[in-house]
Amino acid sequence: MHSIVIMGVAGCGKSSLGGLVAQAAGLPLVEGDDHHSDSNREKMQSGIPLTDADRDGWLSALCEQLRAHPSGVVMTCSALKQAYRTRLRQAAPDLQFVFMDITREQAQIRVAARAHAHIFPTALVDSQFATLESPVGEVGVLRVDALAPLPLLQAQVAAWLASKEAA
């Protein structure tokens, strides 16, 4: 079984889809946000975008999580830049990515709707889109429409993973 990263900007639905995919695949779920440092959390809560340097320790922790699950894991992680995805792939060479594609406007709406229960403020959505380097065209990436119903997305991911297993 491959390890999978459910990726995209804030508000795209990584945690929701990640939970469904992990359950269906019988794999553990690692929530990327759980591995941010206290200083990263404070910056985000204050509306300050994270830098590459801020994300360095976080990516190291996520790489350790990938290595700790050699039988496969579903991980949620923004993985906004190609360099971040390359680093994660180095920890798990057969790593697959599911890119939850969403518009800036829809991401803003979703982040605003969960503002009371999440560390990420709407003020940072623009910085996520500014940082995003689309993974479309990279090997091992499935692009899905983040606005599609979750059961449909889970089925798309399951079919895609099954085709990878059969190959």
- For the segment 25-45, the average pLDDT, to the nearest whole number, is 89
Question: CA-to-CA distance for 34 and 3, rounded, in angstroms?
Answer: 18
Q: What is the pTM assigned to this prediction?
A: 0.92
What does the pLDDT average to over 1-8? 91
Does residue 167 surpass a pLDDT of 70?
no
Q: Higher-confidence residue: 22 or 93?
A: 22
Question: What tokens does 101 get?
Answer: 């594609």
Contact 44, 120 (CB under 8 A): yes
pLDDT in tens, 49-88: 888 999 999 999 999 999 999 999 999 999 999 999 999 9
Residue 120 pLDDT exceeds 80: no
pLDDT for res 46: 78
Give the contacts of 110 (CB within 8 A, at least 6 positions apart). Answer: 11, 12, 13, 102
| pLDDT at residue 40, as a whole number | 85
Element (H, E) at 50: none
Spell out the domains of the chain, with CATH numbers in brackets. 4-166 (3.40.50.300)
The first and second tokens of residue 69, run together, are 């699950």
C-alpha dihedral over 151, 86, 124, 100, to 10 degrees? Answer: -20
- Any residues with CB less than 8 A from the CB of 21 and at least 6 apart, and which? 4, 6, 27, 74, 98, 154, 157, 158
Residue type present at position 23: Q
Average pLDDT over residues 100-117: 85
